[in-house]
Amino acid sequence: MAALAFSHEGDSSLSAPTHVRINDCNLHVATVNGSGSQTANATLLRAIFQMGVPVSGKNLFPSNIAGLPTWFTIRVNERGHLARTRTNDVLVAMNPETAADDIAAMGPGTVTVVNAGIPLPELPSDRTVHVVPCGKLVEPIVPDAKLRKLVVNMIYVGVVAHLLGIDAEEIDRALGSQLGRKQKALELNRAAVNAGLEYAREHLPPAPVRIERRSLTDGKILIEGNTAAALGALFGGVTFVSWYPITPSSSLAEALQGYLERYRRDPQTGEATYAILQAEDEIAAIGMVLGASWAGARAMTATSGPGFSLMTEFIGYAYYAEIPAVIWDIQRIGPSTGLPTRTSQGDLLSAAFSSHGDTKHVLLFPASVEDCYQYGMQAFDLAERLQTPVLVMSDLDLGMNVSMAEPFAYPEEPWDRGKVLTDEELDRVKTFERYRDVDGDGIPYRTIPGQRHPAAAYFTRGSGHDEQARYTESSETYARVMDRLARKHETARRLAPGPVIDRAPHAAVGLLSFGSTAWAMDEARERLREDGLETSHLLLRAYPFHPDVRAFLASCERVYVVEQNRDAQMAALLRMDMPDLAPRIRSVLHYDGLPIDARSIVERVLHGEREEVVAR
Amino acid sequence: MAALAFSHEGDSSLSAPTHVRINDCNLHVATVNGSGSQTANATLLRAIFQMGVPVSGKNLFPSNIAGLPTWFTIRVNERGHLARTRTNDVLVAMNPETAADDIAAMGPGTVTVVNAGIPLPELPSDRTVHVVPCGKLVEPIVPDAKLRKLVVNMIYVGVVAHLLGIDAEEIDRALGSQLGRKQKALELNRAAVNAGLEYAREHLPPAPVRIERRSLTDGKILIEGNTAAALGALFGGVTFVSWYPITPSSSLAEALQGYLERYRRDPQTGEATYAILQAEDEIAAIGMVLGASWAGARAMTATSGPGFSLMTEFIGYAYYAEIPAVIWDIQRIGPSTGLPTRTSQGDLLSAAFSSHGDTKHVLLFPASVEDCYQYGMQAFDLAERLQTPVLVMSDLDLGMNVSMAEPFAYPEEPWDRGKVLTDEELDRVKTFERYRDVDGDGIPYRTIPGQRHPAAAYFTRGSGHDEQARYTESSETYARVMDRLARKHETARRLAPGPVIDRAPHAAVGLLSFGSTAWAMDEARERLREDGLETSHLLLRAYPFHPDVRAFLASCERVYVVEQNRDAQMAALLRMDMPDLAPRIRSVLHYDGLPIDARSIVERVLHGEREEVVAR
Amino acid sequence: MSTPANKTPSAAPAANRVGLTLADYKGARSTLCPGCGHDAITNSIINAAFELGLEPHRLAKLSGIGCSSKTPAYFMRRSFAFNAVHGRMPSIATGVHIANRDLQLLGISGDGDTASIGIGQFTHLIRRNVPVVYLIENNGVYGLTKGQFSATADFGTKAKVGRTNELMPIDLCALAIELGCGFVARSFSGDPKQLRPLLKAALAHRGTSVVDILSPCVTFNNHEGSTKSYDHVKEHDAPLHDVTFIPPHEPITADYEPGEVRQVTLFDGSRVTLKKLEADYDPHDGMAAMVTLRRAREAGTFVTGLLYVNAQKPAFDREVGMVEAPLASLPLDRVRPPRRVLEEIMEAHRSGAAPR
Amino acid sequence: MSTPANKTPSAAPAANRVGLTLADYKGARSTLCPGCGHDAITNSIINAAFELGLEPHRLAKLSGIGCSSKTPAYFMRRSFAFNAVHGRMPSIATGVHIANRDLQLLGISGDGDTASIGIGQFTHLIRRNVPVVYLIENNGVYGLTKGQFSATADFGTKAKVGRTNELMPIDLCALAIELGCGFVARSFSGDPKQLRPLLKAALAHRGTSVVDILSPCVTFNNHEGSTKSYDHVKEHDAPLHDVTFIPPHEPITADYEPGEVRQVTLFDGSRVTLKKLEADYDPHDGMAAMVTLRRAREAGTFVTGLLYVNAQKPAFDREVGMVEAPLASLPLDRVRPPRRVLEEIMEAHRSGAAPR
Ligand SMILES: Cc1ncc(C[n+]2csc(CCOP(=O)(O)OP(=O)(O)O)c2C)c(N)n1
Ligand SMILES: Cc1ncc(C[n+]2csc(CCOP(=O)(O)OP(=O)(O)O)c2C)c(N)n1
Ligand code: SF4
Ligand code: SF4
Ligand SMILES: [Mg+2]
Ligand SMILES: [Mg+2]
């Protein structure tokens, strides 16, 4: 790659780079939290999307309302590799506090746009740096100093559009769809974009990475996982939501509240076919869900780490008393408060065994925004069919960042509310025993409070109970009920979504991913293939594990379980479940709060394989 | 064994049984809760103990204050096998509600004493049943009807003393030491015992199981695990206790409160060198412990399942902020309220991974009342040395039932308060960084709030922090701190008590037990040996596992992990930790709330071994 | 309130207006200690429910953990019941009500369950004004765990085994009034004549109604020196008035001197008459109620009766704005928006003009 | 109260009685939004602590989670601090006090942290009268999670994005008084002249002192229609009196007309003078305080000032009965009973006459 000279205000070399990469680059924008850079970044992202080129955006934000550093990364990749990558091609450095580090992290051949006034570090000559006087450019456009702060970021939108070759028209359209209703804001922002664009055209050479029109995003949508989950719940027929605010789950509840308000409240009467309550804490949130679900609502809550920990006692209750409940855990980095705005898959073990005593829970692992939508519905069906809590283990990366997807399909099936006996059915079946395993699958039948039938009523409790829901301290009965619950957990293996397997014909090595880890897998496998390592892949979608998971493990000599936590938590669950296959399980772990990238996977798998050779 | 005829009031055959078993029997007493049978049962237990014969007593009581059935089992075994057994030799049936079942459970050759008026079921002729008119016998002794109810149980004490050959003198002495200060009660009870004794001498033949004097209990004590734990805390220098009542942990806190009041409060000034608070719930209890411990107290709490679940969030905090804390979990049967007065080892997984995020905790497994005493002290040392919560996983069986033990040894060592820097030391070391791994063992240094040194203060938080305890969202720093915490967990392997191993020279099969499960192991191994199976044994005392545990597993072809839960929770922890050895781990599970017995172990190990042969 | 089924009253004298007998309102045999105050309350509940003619299937029994919280098993066996975890019944009640607003909720709690571990949820229940009759069977101790003090134990009261309580009690009635509760009463398990009409009135109220019932624990808190023993409570019980409950549409039968009674009309049209004993007491005056409670506390007496009522308090349902039909009963087509809604939303996400 | 170290006052004018400058009471740079009310409170704390001459090492800063709970990082960097989990700071405070009764505790919380998730621990903290200055930086919203209503949001107040609050607020001051708190004040972040002396007085009190400080969230709750915006609070602030704090042994310097001021003496001998504004207000009368608060609530105003004080309230330490020396500092030989005690206990377990 050609070494480019430093360019300062007005003296950039305008010659085009000698080697140009098309539709494959990473743009990194460093700004100050609360400075209104979201609109700028979203405009760039959307414009690229509208050019038909696959794109993803990741927001790296602080646990702060305003003033601390924040970053936004846009990855463009026409082959659809949209996970995070560790290196950036273009940097926009708007934050004086982090600029030195941000710039220092840029490698050879990269381009940096830096706001004028930010001191520049000494740099090797193969990094291009463009100093752009953003403030000066925006001044004539926005006379009001306070407002100016919010518009100044649009300057770099124009600059980047020029550098990468993003269509000005698409920028304009993207801006329009975002600010459509605010005419004045739209005009100011437009003017600022143009000022940036013009400045760049005049002073700066295009970057060695460029974007060209394709038609790979036709008909597609851009959406965040939490919004998708909210949509799933909406179409899944949710009737009750209780929640307590906590990042990164709040946006799920808030999106859902918005949709419900709009689509499930009669505009004439004002009557709603749902209720959503902000509880006083997460103990109350899950308590309300259990009460509502017991009484027949489709009830859910969404939370994250600390809130999830607080739900522990009630989750154990729901397991034992067999009450359906849908709990979205949008995982963030723990332990404790941890890094509340960083992503993680660190809650697996505490979720799987949440609460004292012999409990094991059903977990789902959405790996895409489509999954969020689908599980938004299916989690209800599953919880009601199994009469147990279903924990949907999403994470910040999936929940709060936008992804591309095919538009979601309208559900063609009705809901499945599981084994509920109506009064008419009670008349037919004659005897009703709340906790009897009538069908041999461990799942009993239930009635709904308020049913008039004299046999319908039963007593729900977290203490020892027999098949007829009566209090008992009998050892045999206790053990019998626990055995049935274990049987029900076995049934869950087949009711929950099975894995998605891509087996390479002669591969000895398997990779196993789940949740947002999956995003980097295609890319990682491609690179491994380039390095001569064919791999099979299993995308895990639920715990307890489907029998196909076992078959996959059995068919590989080694399986690398890729996960975003320190303690190899998924590997632990697999080892527990399949001790005979435990020795073939390896781990690829990533736990710094940043989304995992393909290179990390490739490096660690190759390292593991080298060790394997040495060991043999 | 000789078949004995039915004996009814006044017409028992007085001939001695033909075959007599000495100092090896099980006495089972069925009464009504709250009817004052504790004194009667304790008198029998203690009298046998005073005869020098090893004995244990297990109370099977309902979650109820008065009126529901309760049972007490006394096992006598001069070889020291004192775990529960499933069959009884002598039954005292005082509870009409359960008598039919109680009697039906008695096998051939057994003796039943039944209170007159209780309807008798049809029985095979090889069971002896003595109907004793307890009410009639006590009437002349206690004119007051209300009081009589409490004394009537003493009749069966006399009857049993005769049947088993317990010295009347020892009965009297046992009664005296229990009721010593209540002269009137003592006399009434004494009279009732004598009435029973005389009646029995006159009407009933001795039982085929007998007790004979030995000197195997000389100098020994009888004590409950919870009392022993309280003593440990007392001598370990506890300064703060907070708790919230919950069975079966309340007796630990209450015993400790009694001891502290007596031995740690100045009788002159009334000033106490401790504080004990009844919190408003378990969240507050653990919060107070963390606050106190942070500020330099030796702080502990005791709880059980539901309370433990409520502590989840704070336990994760303590892990990450590195605050010492001692938490006794006196396990009972879950999930949820479960069977609150039944024993279990079902909290292992939820304890080991308590709270969201990458957390793993240090667990101790007391297997005897001595351990309870020792860990009562050591848990503080360990928590302070490791600066982390230490969870002592006792259970109802160990905590609330009396065991025989050698008198506890006075601690010869001072306490170990870990890496605390005084002001003088701060002067010397110059820099103090709260979370720096100075020694390479993952354990940092701490100071105590209130220290005057200007460098002493630091900021404790559950959010991301660097070595200097400053807030950070840096990915690298986060990962570095987490790696150090993992290193600290490795250090814990060697600081926590190692296993006790009894290796049989050529045994292919190992048994692994922990906690109260250990009680049945000697007996089980002996019986297995009789059945031709030599076994090695490892008594596990802590998690994370000591390297010797790995070595043991590696040295056996198969290891049966014996535990009192449904989900093979200890086996799961072992499999996670040693995946390469996972295939050799088998499980013996027992989870009906009753303490495990040797026969159950033997049967399941033999069953496993037969399957092994078939599989090969 | 449940609307009564219009059955012709049966000939048998023992049937109530919905055709059920007293036996139909009973439950399993109690396993509490003989003489426990809680059993007396159970009895009052059975009678009140029978006399009101409640339909069992329209009532749900909710509780936490404790001897008190076990009692739902001992009455109204034909009603659904939810015996929750310790101190968290209010959140269950909130969820149940939202799922099925036709259910009448009867919550049973203890002083430990409410004032110690449960005070947070109790507070927020009242704040939301969730329609539930919330009974506290208040004995000042944790019965089930064998007699430790709870947060309602009076300052200076003695435990069975020596210890003296050094903390001030939480007065759940005063707290409820301060928090804006629309129905607050205090009574005594040993005074069914007062308790029954209060229970009926509580059941007729539309929002949260709190009834704090002194209920001696005969096993752990009935000794001398205890301020919650039978003898002590009887002696220090200071009823504010004689309470009579009159169902809607029924005339007042007793004759009262003018000025001798106050009448309180409840949401469903039923009335409570309060016959004055010493002074006249106006249960509509919250501030006066607080003063009365404070004075009684200082004097060491228990004022019992209808302490405070505000039948006009806006109902919880208003805030939530739910449809009339129970949410639990809505069919799929009422809760799954039509295809065009999804298409509209997808289009917005395609074009970037996502609504919200 | 901490006893001052007897240093000779340094020559530099900026040093206080313990020889520290204002800078010594500062902390890290705030990362809150510019203009946040919480920063103003931080400033008042820094000044109050400096003027009182507190020794940093004798004070511990405690907090929960929220923007407000972050602020301990922004003052008194030389003090130890414990930033706990959400809503549970009171239990931490209780433990810290027990371990080291020499430490003065300053707890910082938010309205969400206290009134929503934390109301249970708040209640029990007050009930135990644990000596801690408990500040609520009250903005009626959850700042850190971006503007949802908290349990102190006023009825009818509007959120930034449309929604109206339909629930009644919890009045933390009224609640504290009902629960028997011995020091209750309300103030406004924007009124340091009132806030500073109140903070000093709170620090001089011996039990739990609650100071509820209206502290506008400029980012999420400072718009029109919000009852917790700067403008609204300023307009509806109804100070009861002008507050002056006088340290122990210092004479009152200002001249007052007779009857113009009330003087309140605190536990450590310091005094607060309250100069009457409209009517005379007696902060020793709890019932009157409740009435005043209720009226203000109805009128939609915020009464600020020293609402209630009872300097005689028995201290928490009495109940616990701890030695004078901090428990944390006791050497082994004071906390490990001698050998003969173990022997005595062992003997009892040998013979069966176990004491207890
Ligand atoms: C989380 C939790 N902690 C502790 C317990 C143990 N526990 C059971 S009942 C009870 C107290 C009950 O007291 P109260 O509510 O006054 O009821 P009472 O028995 O006096 O009627 C306690 C502490 C529990 N079940 N759950
Ligand atoms: C258990 C738990 N639930 C939720 C959160 C998320 N959370 C952080 S701060 C906060 C609310 C803070 O509100 P407030 O106490 O009023 O403080 P403010 O930010 O307004 O000063 C919440 C809900 C959390 N940290 N822990
Ligand atoms: S212990 Fe007390 S509260 Fe419980 S049942 Fe017995 S008398 Fe009633
Ligand atoms: S969000 Fe509100 S409370 Fe938080 S720092 Fe900003 S202004 Fe202050
Ligand atoms: Mg009670
Ligand atoms: Mg707030």
By Cβ distance, the residue of A245, A281, A336 closest to D148 is A245
Structure tokens at D136: 């609520």
**What number is the average pLDDT over the span C21-37?**
96
By Cβ distance, the residue of D67, D117, D143 closest to A281 is D117
Distance of CA C55 to the CA centre of its chain: 18
How much is the pLDDT for C321? 86
Calpha distance B563→A543 (Å, rounded): 24
Please indicate whether residue D256 or residue D34 has the higher confidence score (pLDDT): D34
Residue type, D270: S
Pocket test for ligand 2, best of A63, A64, A65, A246 (most atoms within 8 A of CB): A246
D170 → chain C, closest CA residue: C179
C112 CA from centroid of ligand 1 (Å):
6
- Secondary structure class of B348 (helix, strand, coil): helix
Query: pLDDT tens, C53-92?
Result: 999 999 999 999 999 999 999 999 999 999 999 999 999 9
Contacts of B298 (CB under 8 A, 6+ apart): B236, B237, B238, B239, B240, B326, B380, B384, B415, D335
Which of these, B393, B283, B392, B273, lies nearest to B332 by C-alpha position?
B393
Contact between C167 and D127 using a beta-carbon 8 Å cutoff? yes
Which of these, B460, B116, B186, B176, lies nearest to B318 by C-alpha position?
B460
Task: Return the partners of chain D (3 or more C-beta pairs < 8 Å).
Answer: A, B, C
Contact between C167 and D319 using a beta-carbon 8 Å cutoff? yes
Structure tokens at A57: 């955006």
pTM of the model: 0.96
How much is the pLDDT for A132? 97
Taking the Cβ of residue A608 and every Cβ of chain B, the question of whether any pair is shorter than 8 Å is answered with no
Structure tokens at C119: 């005070």
Mean pLDDT of chain B: 95
- b/e code A82-100 from CB counts within 10 Å (16+ = b): bbbbeebbbbbbbbeebbe
C156 CA from centroid of ligand 5 (Å):
17
Res. C13 pLDDT band, cuts 50 70 90: low
Instruction: List the beta strands (DSSP E) in B271-384.
Output: 275-278, 299-303, 325-333, 339-343, 362-364
Calpha distance B152→B580 (Å, rounded): 61
Calpha distance D298→D290 (Å, rounded): 12
Cβ contact C140:C223 at 8 Å: no
Using a 6 Å cutoff on CB, does residue D143 contact ligand 2? yes
Calpha distance A560→A588 (Å, rounded): 6
In this model, does residue D111 exceed pLDDT 90? yes
Percentage of chain A with pLDDT > 70? 97
Computed from CA positions of residues A512, A515, A518, A520, in that sequence, does the dihedral angle turn out positive or negative? negative
How much is the pLDDT for B5? 38
How far is the alpha carbon of C24 from chain B, nearest alpha carbon, in Å?
Answer: 25
Residues with CB under 5 A from ligand 6 (ion): D 110-112, 139
- Determine phi and psi for C277, rounding to 5 degrees: -105, -75
Closest-lying ligand 4 atom to the alpha carbon of residue D68: 3
D115 → chain A, closest CA residue: A280
D348 → chain B, closest CA residue: B221
List the domain boundaries for chain C: 25-319, 332-356
Using a 6 Å cutoff on CB, does residue D142 contact ligand 2? yes
Residue type, D275: K
C318 CA from centroid of ligand 1 (Å):
34
**What number is the average pLDDT over the span A12-30?**
79
How far is the alpha carbon of B183 from chain D, nearest alpha carbon, in Å?
Answer: 15
**What number is the average pLDDT over the span A599-616?**
92
By Cβ distance, the residue of A238, A448, A462 closest to C328 is A448
**What number is the average pLDDT over the span B499-507?**
96
- Return the residue whose CA atom lies nearest to atom 4 of ligand 3: C143
Residue type, A281: D
How far is the alpha carbon of C218 from chain A, nearest alpha carbon, in Å?
Answer: 24
Which of these, A255, D139, A337, lies nearest to B356 by C-alpha position?
A337
How much is the pLDDT for C83? 98
Which of these, A397, A342, A252, lies nearest to A70 by C-alpha position?
A342
3-state secondary structure A442-505: CCCCECCCCCCCCCCCCEEECECECCCCCECCCHHHHHHHHHHHHHHHHHHHHHCCCCEEECCC
Percentage of chain A with pLDDT > 90? 90
Ligand 4: lining residues by beta carbon, under 6 Å:
A 65; D 32-33, 36, 38, 67, 139, 143-144, 217-220
Residue B252: in which H helix or E strand, if any? helix B250-263
B75 CA from centroid of ligand 3 (Å):
32
Using a 6 Å cutoff on CB, does residue A307 contact ligand 2? yes
Cβ contact D53:D78 at 8 Å: no
How much is the pLDDT for C354? 52
Other beta carbons within 10 Å of A123:
14
The highest-level CATH class for domain C25-319 is alpha beta
User: Which residues 543-572 of B have a C-beta within 8 angstroms of A?
Assistant: 565-567, 569, 571-572
- Return the residue whose CA atom lies nearest to atom 8 of ligand 3: C36
In this model, does residue A458 exceed pLDDT 70? yes
C140 CA from centroid of ligand 1 (Å):
12
Res. A6 pLDDT band, cuts 50 70 90: very low
3-state secondary structure A222-290: EEEHHHHHHHHHHHCCCCEEEECCCCCCHHHHHHHHHHHHHHCECCCCCCECCEEEECCCHHHHHHHHH
Contact between A277 and C320 using a beta-carbon 8 Å cutoff? yes
In this model, does residue C136 exceed pLDDT 60? yes
Cβ contact B112:B91 at 8 Å: yes
Strand order in the sheet with C104-110: A459-461, C80-83, C59-63, C104-110, C133-138, C209-214, C183-188, C302-309, C237-239
Closest-lying ligand 3 atom to the alpha carbon of residue C32: 5
In this model, does residue B290 exceed pLDDT 60? yes
Query: pLDDT tens, A99-148?
Result: 999 999 999 999 999 999 999 988 888 999 999 999 999 999 998 988 89
- Return the residue whose CA atom lies nearest to atom 6 of ligand 1: B246
How much is the pLDDT for A477? 98
Calpha distance A333→A311 (Å, rounded): 18
Residue A319: in which H helix or E strand, if any? helix A312-321
Cβ contact A89:A209 at 8 Å: yes
- Return the residue whose CA atom lies nearest to atom 10 of ligand 1: C66
In this model, does residue B8 exceed pLDDT 50? no
The DSSP output letter for C76 is -
Task: Return the partners of chain C (3 or more C-beta pairs < 8 Å).
Answer: A, B, D
By Cβ distance, the residue of C80, C88, C95 closest to A283 is C88
Which of these, B388, B415, B271, B367, lies nearest to B318 by C-alpha position?
B388
In this model, does residue A310 exceed pLDDT 50? yes
Calpha distance B365→B514 (Å, rounded): 6
Calpha distance B314→B462 (Å, rounded): 10
Q: CB contacts < 8 Å between A and C, how many?
A: 225
Contacts of B228 (CB under 8 A, 6+ apart): B369, B370, B372, B373, B376, B405, B408
Mutate to test the interface with D, among C123, C173, C318, C319 (most CBs of D within 10 A): C123
Q: What is the largest CA-CA distance in chain D?
A: 78
Calpha distance D221→C18 (Å, rounded): 53
Contacts of A180 in chain C (CB under 8 A): 353
**What number is the average pLDDT over the span A23-27?**
97
Contacts of C291 in chain D (CB under 8 A): 287
B33 CA from centroid of ligand 3 (Å):
13
Q: Domains in chain A, start-ordered, CATH in brackets?
A: 21-210 (3.40.920.10), 227-405 (3.40.50.970), 423-495 (no CATH), 500-615 (3.40.50.920)
C135 CA from centroid of ligand 3 (Å):
16
Q: What is the DSSP string of C249-303?
A: TPPP-S---TTTEEEEE-TTS-EEEEEESSS---TT-HHHHHHHHHHHHHHT-EE
Q: What is the DSSP string of D195-259?
A: HHHHHHHHHH-SS-EEEEEE---TTTS-STT-TTSHHHHHHHEEESEEEEEE-TTPPP-S---TT
Mean pLDDT lowest for which of B206-210, C31-35, C254-258?
Answer: C254-258
Residue type, A117: G
By Cβ distance, the residue of D31, D65, D146 closest to A337 is D65
Cβ contact B333:A356 at 8 Å: no
Query: pLDDT tens, D76-107?
Result: 999 999 999 999 999 999 999 999 999 999 99
Note the ipTM here: 0.96
3-state secondary structure B106-171: CCCCCEEEEECCCCCCCCCCCCEEEEECHHHHHCCCCCCHHHHHHHCHHHHHHHHHHHHCCCHHHH
Alpha-carbon Rg for chain A in angstroms: 27
Mean pLDDT of chain A: 95
First-last CA distance in chain C: 38
How much is the pLDDT for C5? 45
How far is the alpha carbon of C355 from chain B, nearest alpha carbon, in Å?
Answer: 33
What is the number of helices (H) and of strands (E) in chain D? 12, 13
Calpha distance B25→B214 (Å, rounded): 15
- Secondary structure class of B412 (helix, strand, coil): coil
How much is the pLDDT for A18? 63
How far is the alpha carbon of C145 from chain B, nearest alpha carbon, in Å?
Answer: 6
In this model, does residue B13 exceed pLDDT 60? no
Query: pLDDT tens, A348-363?
Result: 999 999 999 999 999 9
User: Which residues 118-147 of D have a C-beta within 8 angstroms of C?
Assistant: 118-121, 123-124, 127-128
Distance of CA D334 to the CA centre of its chain: 34
Location of structure tokens 């749900």: C60
Structure tokens at C182: 């629309």
Contact between A358 and B591 using a beta-carbon 8 Å cutoff? yes
Location of structure tokens 């012999």: A358
Pocket test for ligand 3, best of C36, C43, C215 (most atoms within 8 A of CB): C36
Distance of CA A82 to the CA centre of its chain: 13
Query: pLDDT tens, B119-137?
Result: 998 888 899 999 999 999 9
B187 CA from centroid of ligand 3 (Å):
30
Cis peptide before A544 (omega within 30 of 0): yes
How much is the pLDDT for A208? 96
How much is the pLDDT for B18? 63
Calpha distance B447→B435 (Å, rounded): 11
Contacts of B268 (CB under 8 A, 6+ apart): none
In this model, does residue A9 exceed pLDDT 60? no
Q: What is the DSSP string of D26-76?
A: B-SPP-SPTT-HHHHHHHHHHHHHHHHT--GGGEEEEE-SSHHHHGGGGB-
In this model, does residue A66 exceed pLDDT 90? no
Contacts of A96 (CB under 8 A, 6+ apart): A115, A117, A118, A119
Using a 6 Å cutoff on CB, does residue D218 contact ligand 2? no
Res. D11 pLDDT band, cuts 50 70 90: low
How much is the pLDDT for D13? 55
How far is the alpha carbon of C327 from chain B, nearest alpha carbon, in Å?
Answer: 28
How much is the pLDDT for C305? 97
- Determine phi and psi for B469, rounding to 5 degrees: 70, 20
D162 → chain C, closest CA residue: C356
By Cβ distance, the residue of A304, A482, A569 closest to B591 is A482
Cβ contact D130:D206 at 8 Å: no
Closest-lying ligand 1 atom to the alpha carbon of residue C64: 15
Closest-lying ligand 2 atom to the alpha carbon of residue D215: 21
